[in-house]
Structure 1
Amino acid sequence: MGDTTQRVLSLLNLLQQRPVWTGTELAERLGVTTRSVRRDVERLRALGYPVRAEHGTGGGYQLGAGKALPPLLLDDEEAVAVAVSLRLAAGGTVAGLGEAAVRSLAKLDQVLPARLRAEVKGVIDATVSLDSPVTVVDADVLVALARAIRTPERATFDYTKASGDHGERRVEPYRLVAAARRWYLMAWDLDRDDWRTFRLDRMTAARGTGWRFKPRDAPDAVEFIRASITQAPYRFVAKVRIEASAHEVAQFVPSTMAVLEPDGDGGAILTTGADDLDYVAYHVVRLGWPVTVIEPPELRDAMRRLGERLTAASS
């Protein structure tokens, strides 16, 4: 049984290396008869692999596209190339990396042999980027957190706050979200007994603890992090009604800068945070639509000051 399983995996590996193989070629490579090749092809088909067989000149066995992606068998060079590409993307040197790519990186890193892991690290250490489109993060941090989320298990990491304060954080990690050219973690902070948002570029030494946890009822990760980065860090939370649809306003206001909600017929509520309300007044007015201030009252004063300055400048 062991020899058969190994041979079937070897057959799958060969079928992934080039488009078409004849039965004779496969038999020679595997050291078996063509009858054994036919039986192993049937075993692959029984496992859901769409192996096609075409007769005649130019025909042979071919691995076709199926309903699901089969496991890919990679040689050493291919595994290193894929791991390097994913790590460069996860670290911020490739734009547009989604959460699916991070999950792929975590899975590959989990099974990568130590000798290849060292080779990947060597390539990464020797690689620099002239202009990174996103804030660079440590790919090892991404991998560790992605694994902890999948398990799920508690994690710890060293964290530096915006104020410069440094310390270890213990969390139950839930989701990784890419936003505002940065990576964020939404997690339950075990020491503060509440949900928190953490920037990955401020983390080091992230690691799973091995302690499993039962997932809690969690808020929507995207909405939670959006609110955290657009409102929570600021002195004021401003809310205005704009006489335009949320879809129209969204074309000019990034989701990482404000939260937009539809309001009535053709209106939208914009909520954002700021330490300087004059800044909010300027950017809201420059959108060009009629605006009604909802809160705070200080924003009305900022709007009035802006109007006076514009009137004085135009006189």
Structure 2
Amino acid sequence: MQKSQRLIQLMMRINAKRSFTVRELAEEFGLSTRTITRDLQELSELGVPVYSIQGRGGGYKLLRERVLPPISFTENEAVALFFACQSMDYYSSMPFGEGAEGALHKFYHYLPADIREQIDRLKNRVMFWSPYRSMSVEILQTLLQAIMIQSVVTIEYKSSSGVSKRDIQPIGLYASSGYWYCPAYCFTREDIRQFRADRILSAELNRAVPGRAEVSRKTLLDKPVQTDQEQITLELEVTKKGVWMLESNARFGPHLHRHEDGGGTLTLEIAAQDMAFYLDLIWQWGEEVIIVEPAEAKAYMRRKMEAMRLLYGEPSPKGGPA
């Protein structure tokens, strides 16, 4: 066996064992203890975090994380992976700490010179842009760790009603428009809720609270079942310009039905308690999106319009009500 092949196999073996002695490896590979010692020294110089254990019995241990064996990539795969990693640069905070940045640096450093030149030409010409949002890296890392080890987290959460302390069992993490979101089972509300990470003031693993088995089996693809909540049907008429504005919207676009004249209609089933949220979104499109039903949605918009009129309406000449 060539030395390079032996070093790769040795790296894979110590990754699996984590703790071992030179004699164990020598017997397994059919080599002398001196050869194995030299190989371990060489792996250590290459960056594999191996350190010796002092005292009776001795031996070696893999420090910190395991190191993956070398992997071969085609040129297209290398470019794709580089930009996949670089896409995360545009997020202000990541739950992976410095791991993504370190991986990107290593990946770029060991690419062939001609591939590095190609990537350099694409820098600042290919972007996965995301709005900058300030949030805590430590909180994101705590949530990610809780998902991995299926632990409950105690958080302080800031909502419109104030700051509350809750125990939650995170289901997952996802990013949208620069924000990180964490759907989780809330033990206070006894239901699944969605938490925005930048509104979490503190987060700490809480192993004293047992997690729920059915929650640990859920993923981000599992939508909460809200059969116990009142549902309403939101019907909208959309102008040609409104269709152009709504078709790329993730909440409204999939439900949009286009007409031959370019306009369209939209029918959407929503929870009654979420009506104000959806109507506030519709407000931004003004006269391009018209509410047909329900009547309470129209009434909500009329109240909102009246509030705006009172706030921004022209004052009367004598300074009285407009």
TM-score per shorter chain, which class?
A: 0.3 to 0.5
Scaled by the length of structure 1, the TM-score of the pair is 0.45
Scaled by the length of structure 2, the TM-score of the pair is 0.44
